[in-house]
A = this chain, B = another copy of it.
Amino acid sequence: MKRADRLFQIVNFLQGRRMAVTAERIADEFDISIRTVYRDIQDLIITGVPINGEAGVGYMLDKSYYLPPMTFDVEELEVLMLGAAMVSSWTDTDMSVSAQTLIRKVRNALSERDRETFEGIALFAPPSRARPPWNINFSAIRRAVRKKEKIHLDYSDEQGRSTERTIRPLSLVFVGPVWMMLGWCELRKDFRHFRLDRVNQATFTGEFFEDTPETSLQTYLDSLGYCDGLRP
């Protein structure tokens, strides 16, 4: 079991470094010889962990997230499947594709018999009627949230008046059939939310922001007393 453990740890070690790591560094870390590192890495790759090695550089893990072996009960796995199906129905094409991939991956990991259990638990009528169409890239917004990149918005308010402002995107909020972006508005100096279907144009500024005590998502949540576990 010693080796198996080490293999997990190596993945963990590689994960969360944006620079390449040399075999020597790994050997030092785990107190093993470089030769053994090469052997370990090879076995990891065989197992399907997406590690890339380059001579003269080192090792890098593909920007991917490694989950160790886990067990779920029926309900949890059902949530996973249901959730992915819902996402597939209610977001944009890019994400829908990812949702399908996720579902396929997980299904394939189950034994034949278990797969049947999750057959047809839930279907989703496409929300084409109810959902107002938006014309900005959903995926791009999620990326901006992750990277904390400011967005310049051309937005129509309830009265149809068009305004422009720069906001710090903090989160996406799904309220009915409508997606909204929650952000800190630099114009109003306050939290605001923007319906995606009312955004005329979104420009990604390439400017990044840091959370401050006044502008952080946490602050907003606290101000709502939003502690009921609805946060992902």
Chain A residues within 8 Å of B, Cβ to Cβ: 1, 3-4, 7-8, 12, 15-16, 43, 46-50, 62-91, 94-96, 98-103, 105-106, 109-114, 117-127, 129-130, 139, 142, 145-146, 170-177, 182, 217, 221, 226, 228-232
Contacts and interface: CB of A to CB of B under 8 A. Distances in A.
Contacts of A47: 69
Contact of A72 (B87, B105, B112): B105
A229 to B, nearest CB: 5
Contact of A146 (B3, B71, B121): B121
Given A48-B71, A49-B71, 8 more contacts: A16-B111, A67-B70, A67-B110, A82-B83, A83-B87, A85-B231, A89-B174, A122-B172
B73 A43 contact: no
10 contacts: A64-B71, A65-B72, A65-B74, A75-B95, A76-B105, A79-B84, A85-B232, A120-B170, A121-B171, A127-B176
B95 A121 contact: no
A106 B106 CA distance: 14
**Max chain B Cβ within 10 angstroms of own Cβ: one of A70, A88, A232:** A232
Nearest to A226: B123
Nearest to A78: B142
A105 B122 CA distance: 23
Contacts of A145: 120-121
